[in-house]
Structure 1
């Protein structure tokens, strides 16, 4: 196998590391009849040699994906990839507030229950996403993008506490990590003026309370703050740093910080390793929680439509470089416990619907064929196998 990137692996030689992998790092094809037949015959939870989850286990790094529960179980190729390649799963939507409590006091945990059940059957951990977020709130609670509510401040506080206790409590002992609070800051570092911020007297004190309530509901889960664009040095990253440092000093039960890592080739690569290390130095675990790398794509046959093919070889190679650098950043930070891709295939990515003209952001193409980006991640994990196993991310031991 030709390896064209370098990764420092201590005293273990490259030849020894690769020799330890008894099979060549073959690129899987989820759509092949042979692959699906093998998957059907394989008992749930059996680890496939050479898969991302198997390779990550050599260093204790958990490799995850966001899961669309409408496809899990219903689409054989999609399901095979999720269960073969990843040992943590994050629900795309079925644990968000608007889904689990569409009407006040009336809960629907059916989708979340199915995901948790599937994860248990396939030897996967669940990352709960998310308990407190201004977006995707039920209409009975908030409007105007989570900025407006008809409830009093005290009512909002009581509602938030009950929601956290009900949802986190339902899955007590079955969730590996919760994104307790998501995206509480604007890009300029100012607090987001959500109904939560306002109910606590225009204060971020709601974040501390949310972590305390989540810890009471499920003491065994790791509790994370999660946000985007904090990979870059700047006012937002600094605001989150100041917040979590304050929470730690106050004894608030926070275990880690999630860096979403939604990257685009039109922007420079962030100083991700240094930024994550800075947070880790506070005694926190860190994780890359929603990784994808979008780029400009070729136009489709019809005006205004686009393919999932990068616009040029340069765009494609830049994507591969960003995958390489983002994974290495996590591998080189001892307290980086997981690396989660936000989705399985380009055909079910959120990117084209939000960024027209951009896409090709995931590890598998529209037909569930592994892309070069998959091979980049696979080879980096194989090279890292010579590093000491130094991370587990188990439970709340990070506090």
Structure 2
């Protein structure tokens, strides 16, 4: 159920610089010394919290008995990682293929898991069909049909949907330029998508989802102001999704600052795609620090995220989802992803044993 739209008087707060007390900074760093929980005796992830713990999955993993056992043990919510994206469902001529998504959703329910839908509209997908050359009236009609058909197919079976994904510009300077914004309006396409999704699946919680909200304070503030404007326009936004692909070099306290501001909107918050790579992306100087130093910083940031999530009122803790369950499941290690076979960016290692960040999360969750 969506919260009532909040007042619009927080824009000045969101635009203002945030100051963190030295004592708070020190508290953020205490996770850096967290130790690894005993591997064989580590409790299931889902036992750590009284809110859902989720992970992603794909059809290729459903026939892997080790992965299936790990999912049954550790999580109570699943997000199809690829099968519900437009690039999988939308076919030439605006035809649809639900074979993969049906399999994922059916499997999740067979396992007794909550199923979360990702994603209905994404600026980077559907571009072979949704083009600038398509007449606007046809574009709008097909847009409405896609959102309503996909959401309606799983009516009553999804706990929530990422309705629009990554609407804010990369640097946080306004909204992203994309074909949906150009054809339907920069905010109008978002409102339209939420309205179609609400009509098609009225009981699902509808999310606006984005990334780098903790990493980039400017983008985080732009995102929250966008949510306020959309709510004022009547968009049935029911929750905020923060992907939380954490840069372990985020300054201490910055994650908590974002969650503090996000919480004031009163909406449920979903940590929707958590991972925390140890390797830097391109464009930055090589990281010559020791693995131990990078692990310590990684643990500190993940611990801060878990604490910030726990500081939310209970009704705002929608779910805590990792993008992959074990290190070996991560998109970061796959060739079509970042192709980093030695990356370790999740709570469990390739054997399902706890990584160092596991204990920080367990400690923050009070288990």
Where on the TM-score scale, by shorter chain, does this alignment land: which range? Answer: 0.7 to 0.9
Q: 1:71 aligns with which of 61, 67, 90?
A: 61
Between the aligned partners of 1:327 and 1:318, the Cα distance in structure 2 is: 14
- Residues 69, 269 of structure 1: CA spacing in aligned structure 2 closer, same or farther, 3 A cutoff? farther
Kept in 2: contact 1:228–1:259 (CA 8 A): yes
When residues 76 and 346 of structure 1 are mapped into structure 2, their CA distance, relative to the original with a 3 A threshold, is same
Deviations along 1:126-175, one digit per CA (max 9) or x if unpaired, are 11000010123252334xxxxxx331222221111000110000000000
- 2:125 match: 136
2:58–2:104: 8 Å Cα contact kept in structure 1?
A: no
Residue 351 of structure 1, aligned match among 304, 317, 332: 332
C-alpha distance 99-360 of structure 1, shift in aligned 2 (>3 A)? same
CA distance in 1 between counterparts of 2:184 and 2:296 reads 47
Structure 2 stretches of 5 or more lacking a match?
Answer: 1-25, 29-36, 281-288
User: CA RMSD, aligned part only?
Assistant: 2.5
**Is the counterpart of residue 54 in structure 1 residue 47 in structure 2?**
yes
Q: How many residues align?
A: 320
> Contact 1:97/1:138 (CA < 8 Å) preserved in 2?
no
* Deviation for aligned residue 1:105: 3.8
Aligned-partner SS, 1:263: coil
2:80 matched to which residue of 1?
91
TM-score, normalising length: structure 1? 0.74
Gap change, CA 1:28 and 1:93, over 3 Å in 2: farther
Identify the match of residue 82 of structure 1 among 71, 79, 99. Answer: 71
Determine whether 1:262 maps to 2:251. no
Would the alpha carbon gap of residues 375 and 75 (structure 1) be closer, same or farther in structure 2, given more than 3 Å must change? farther
- Determine the structure 1 residue equivalent to 2:189: 206
Given candidates 115, 118, 122, the residue that maps to 1:126 is 115
1:355 CA drift (Å)? 4.7
1:205-354 pair list within 5 angstroms: 205-232=188-215, 234-269=217-252, 271-296=254-279, 311-334=290-313, 335-352=316-333
Contact kept in structure 1, 2:217 and 2:258, CA below 8 Å: no
The alpha-carbon deviation at position 232 of structure 1 amounts to 4.4
SS at match of 2:164: strand
Q: Equivalents in 1 of 2:86, 2:253: separation in Å?
A: 31
**Structure 1 range deviating more: 325-334 or 175-184:** 325-334
Alpha-carbon spacing, 1:275–1:293, altered in 2? closer, same or farther (3 Å): same
Deviations 1:188-219 (A, max 9, x none): 32211111000124x32111111111000011
How has the CA–CA distance of structure 1 residues 327 and 124 changed in structure 2, closer, same or farther, with 3 Å as cutoff? same
TM-score computed with the length of structure 2 as normaliser? 0.80
Give the superposition deviation at 1:6: 8.6
> Structure 1: which 4+ aligned runs deviate by more than 4 Å?
352-358
SS at match of 1:130: strand
Shift of 1:76: 1.4
Whether the 8 Å contact between 2:94 and 2:142 is mirrored in structure 1 is no
Contact 2:90 2:126 survives alignment (8 Å): no
Tell me: CA distance 1:96–1:134, structure 2 relative to 1, closer, same or farther (3 Å).
Answer: same
